[in-house]
Amino acid sequence: MRRDLLFAAVTARAPDNSEGAHLERLQGIAVSPGVAIGEALILDNEGFRIPRRFVQRDAVEAELARLTLAVEAAAAEVDRNRVRVAAELGDEYAAIFSAHLQMLNDRRLRQELEDMIRTRHYSPEYSVSRALGKYAKVFQSLDGEYMAERANDIFDIQKRLLRHLLGSSRQELAQVTSPVLVLAHNLTPSETANLNPQFVMGLVTEIGGPGSHTAIVAEGLGIPAVVGVGHFLTDVSGGETVIIDGDQGLIILHPDEEMLARYRHEVEEQRTLAAKLETLRDLPAETTDGVKVTMLGNIEFPAEVQQCEERGADGIGLYRTEFLYLGRDDDPPEEAHFAAYHEVVQAMHGKPVVMRTLDLGADKMRTMPNPEDERNPFLGLRSIRLALRNRDLFRVQLRAILRASAHGTIRLMFPLISTLLELRQAKMVVADAMEDLDEAGIPFDRNIQVGMMVEVPSAVLMMDRFAEESDFFSIGTNDLIQYCLAVDRSNKDVANLYTAADPAVIRLIDMAVKTANAHGRPISMCGQMCGNPLYTMLLLGIGLRSLSVTPAAIPEVKRVCRSVSIPQCERVAAQVRTLETARDIKTYLKEELSKVFPEFPV
């Protein structure tokens, strides 16, 4: 059957199930805990933001005219492509564009779109998204590769129409002005960096893994998030009520009243627990036998300092500085760096701030050409490697950090150090920056501590040598897990292998802590692992006494610290060392935590 005739047959029989859709549960990967209930804001894989917008009765005719213009513009665009391809390759190859023209001009489709605008007062954008999404889903449900290709035809038409209706692609999430749950194919680092936490109440993406940038930012903002759900955006429309269960990794579409009532109760329970945990704000993270645990906060943006202060953080254990580079067409100048760093240092009132230098890949920076043959960015030009390759850019950041150090307590930290030579080269650039400031008469802390992240197995294996040249260490479990287990932390297809509970990962952490302690070097942990209360007793039992977590996780982790003794934690660590699989370790840790907090969500 010809494409256009096949489409006509589907439009004739496709059910209009836009109203009264059945409850649907989708399983993804839980990356940030909590429950969120709210209105969906959809970003498809081209980034079109398609809200459920209604038009006023007196604006219906104008909206119909706008739809007509969009259809005509899309048809003209398709026809130009058809003519060009026919001239270059022949009519056979241009047939697909002829079919697209037939679909665009299909009377049934046009009538359905007009009816949605006239009778339901849907906007043209929402009508196009709703109607064509429904037809694409019908094709996807049919067997055979040929039918799947027809779904792609529908999506192509949908995107053309939306492009002409909306006039642009991705709209800034920072411009959202009402509470929403963002459902997207994926979010770029610059988009996640520009999220407005006042209105974005939860996140879901079709792709991604537990260590993806989206996951890290969501956890930092303290909003529920689920990633790696798979293709589902055609099953939901903007404005519909959606539930995000960040504890179980569930997305619930079209929830009924019973389901909504159940989850609203959970939200209330979370608020009650949060209120109880607020009483810990001014209390130390001290074990029952009097051992003090330094509780630090991880931040991505200067504004997050307030969240750390509100939760009683002892300082900032990880200040990610990447946000300054994202979403820009140029490199941030020194003054932009200094302003951000100075703001954080001033807000912490003398408490320590650990600033990590640039930790991005060249593929994420607009000012740099994508490296040739960069098939795996995690193994390529990123972090300290990128900084050392671009020393002028590196020196700008270091000068700003050093300048800010004159106004508070700053510790400087390098990411992804894998060899002694890298550490030495990075420290040489610091020395150069200090010399520059000296010559200019600009004050800075001459005794600033310079440390490194422990994120790759080579750093653990060589830690006795690193301890001679590094003032302190911080274990970054997100990357350490990835490199230890050879698992791409943003790939949902291997997400089941990415776990902090793997015995090999725990052995590396154990080895790192023992070596650092033996050489009298302070060691902390700033990865996602230590923000999960499930691992608190294990980490204390291994010997860690400094933890840096997202602001939202501080009260829960502090609560565990204040409820256990070090001998108790050491017994837990000893037992974990005897276990052989991640599943056994997680099960055991859950059992031990439930003995302390029977009601604790794990």
Nearest CA among 536, 548, 547, 550 for reference residue 307: 550
What span, in angstroms and rounded, lies between the C-alpha atoms of 382 and 361? 4
Helix (H, G, I), strand (E, B) or coil at 24: strand
Q: Are 314 and 295 in contact (CB under 8 A)?
A: yes
Contacts for 277-281 with beta carbons within 8 Å, 24 or more apart?
277/555, 277/556, 277/559, 278/555, 280/312, 280/555, 280/558, 280/559, 280/562, 281/310, 281/311, 281/312, 281/555
Cα angle for residues 84, 90, 95 (degrees, 5° grid): 80
Residue 589, exposed/middle/buried by CB under 10 A (0-12, 13-18, 19+)? buried
CA dihedral for 448, 449, 455, 459, sign (positive or negative):
positive
Instruction: Indicate which residue of 526, 530, 561, 569 is catalytic.
Output: 526
Q: Distance of CA 176 to CAs 40, 199, 200, 330, Å?
A: 12, 7, 8, 25
What span, in angstroms and rounded, lies between the C-alpha atoms of 54 and 120? 8
Residues in the chain: 602
Q: Is 337 among the residues known to form the active site?
A: no
Residue with token string 């439930």: 594
Helix (H, G, I), strand (E, B) or coil at 1: coil
Structure-block tokens of residue 323: 């946000």
Instruction: Indicate which residue of 100, 164, 213, 342 is catalytic.
Output: 213
Q: Distance of CA 579 to CAs 11, 81, 465, 481, 506, Å?
A: 58, 62, 30, 18, 11
Q: Is 164 among the residues known to form the active site?
A: no
What span, in angstroms and rounded, lies between the C-alpha atoms of 123 and 116? 8
Nearest CA among 469, 379, 457 for reference residue 421: 469
Amino acid at 66: R
Q: Are 490 and 208 in contact (CB under 8 A)?
A: yes
Amino acid at 110: R
Which strands sit side by side in the sheet containing 241-245, from one edge to the other? 24-27, 250-253, 241-245, 35-43, 180-184, 200-205, 225-227, 29-32
Radius of gyration in angstroms for the set of CA atoms belonging to the chain, rounded to a whole number: 27
Question: CB neighbours (10 Å) of residue 373?
Answer: 6
What span, in angstroms and rounded, lies between the C-alpha atoms of 239 and 42? 9
Q: Are 43 and 182 in contact (CB under 8 A)?
A: yes
What span, in angstroms and rounded, lies between the C-alpha atoms of 359 and 356? 8
Amino acid at 508: L
Residues tagged active-site: 213, 526
